[in-house]
Chains A and B, each alone.
Chain A
Amino acid sequence: GAVVSQHPSRVICKSGTSVKIECRSLDFQATTMFWYRQFPKQSLMLMATSNEGSKATYEQGVEKDKFLINHASLTLSTLTVTSAHPEDSSFYICSADPGQFRLGYTFGSGTRLTVV
């Protein structure tokens, strides 16, 4: 089946540094990738939708200059958290539509970011 590989699974960084999270679709082409964030005891919240070869679409309240998304190829989307602060500590996860509607979306395994 369709697989999305997400790395790293965990990262700890110092406040003020930037962190890049990668999501790769391994056996299908993902023209669109969705990026979510989940805070404790809350639901997965859509942050942005990345589109191959064009600018990402950000949800209301998500700072596009802070969360840089690049979708340069049909199999790779990256999320860079720039100048990370402790309040950015969260669980980030990506998903993509493998193109078979009835089978749902395929998710990465998520990245736990801790900013110290």
Chain B
Amino acid sequence: ILNVEQSPQSLHVQEGDSTNFTCSFPSSNFYALHWYRWETAKSPEALFVMTLNGDEKKKGRISATLNTKEGYSYLYIKGSQPEDSATYLCAFMLGNTDKLIFGTGTRLQVFP
């Protein structure tokens, strides 16, 4: 059974704090790692699709790194804002498939 784990489950931070979450995934048969941001009552929105070991992606204050050999990815948010409050999902894509296996997500709440 392929397992994708995310930690922490939830996080409460103050506006302006920087934060990071972890996604652990199987290190074998890797094809890609997706990160999504999911605000309440909205659709999950793709943040990054990462494929190469050592890959680093950045979008504004959000960045992500990837280690396929040890099976983990970190998502960083610099200077968190209340609008960053959402659930952040990672999803592992197996080689030769287009299916995504999701973690349970990290729920971030940023207080003003």
Interface on A for B, CB 8 Å cutoff? 4, 6, 32, 34, 36, 41-46, 49, 93, 95, 97, 101-110
Chain A residues contacting B4 (CB-CB under 8 Å) are: 43
Chain A residues contacting B99 (CB-CB under 8 Å) are: 34, 46, 49
Q: Is the pair A103, B105 in contact by a Cβ cutoff of 8 Å? A: no
Q: Is the pair B43, A4 in contact by a Cβ cutoff of 8 Å? A: yes
Asked if B25 is an interface residue, CB under 8 A from chain A, the answer is no
Chain B residues contacting A104 (CB-CB under 8 Å) are: 34, 36, 46-49
Q: Is the pair A43, B104 in contact by a Cβ cutoff of 8 Å? A: yes
Q: Is the pair B100, A34 in contact by a Cβ cutoff of 8 Å? A: yes
- Could you jot down 6 A-B contacts, CB within 8 Å? A4-B43, A36-B102, A43-B4, A43-B89, A105-B34, A106-B43
A to B contact number (C-beta, < 8 Å): 52
Nearest residue (CB) in B for A36 is B102
Question: Of A42, A43, A109, which contacts B42 at CB under 8 A?
Answer: A109
Chain B residues contacting A105 (CB-CB under 8 Å) are: 34, 46, 100
Given that A43-B4, A44-B89 are contacting pairs, would A103 and B46 also be in contact in the complex, using a CB cutoff of 8 Å? yes
Nearest residue (CB) in B for A103 is B46
Chain B residues contacting A6 (CB-CB under 8 Å) are: 43
Q: Is the pair A107, B34 in contact by a Cβ cutoff of 8 Å? A: no
Asked if B101 is an interface residue, CB under 8 A from chain A, the answer is yes
Minimal beta-carbon separation of B90 from chain A (angstroms): 10
Nearest residue (CB) in A for B105 is A43
What is the bound-complex CA distance between A106 and B105, given in angstroms? 17
Q: Is the pair B104, A41 in contact by a Cβ cutoff of 8 Å? A: yes
Q: Is the pair A46, B49 in contact by a Cβ cutoff of 8 Å? A: no
Minimal beta-carbon separation of B40 from chain A (angstroms): 11
Given that A46-B99, A102-B49 are contacting pairs, would A110 and B104 also be in contact in the complex, using a CB cutoff of 8 Å? no
Chain A residues contacting B100 (CB-CB under 8 Å) are: 34, 46, 95, 105
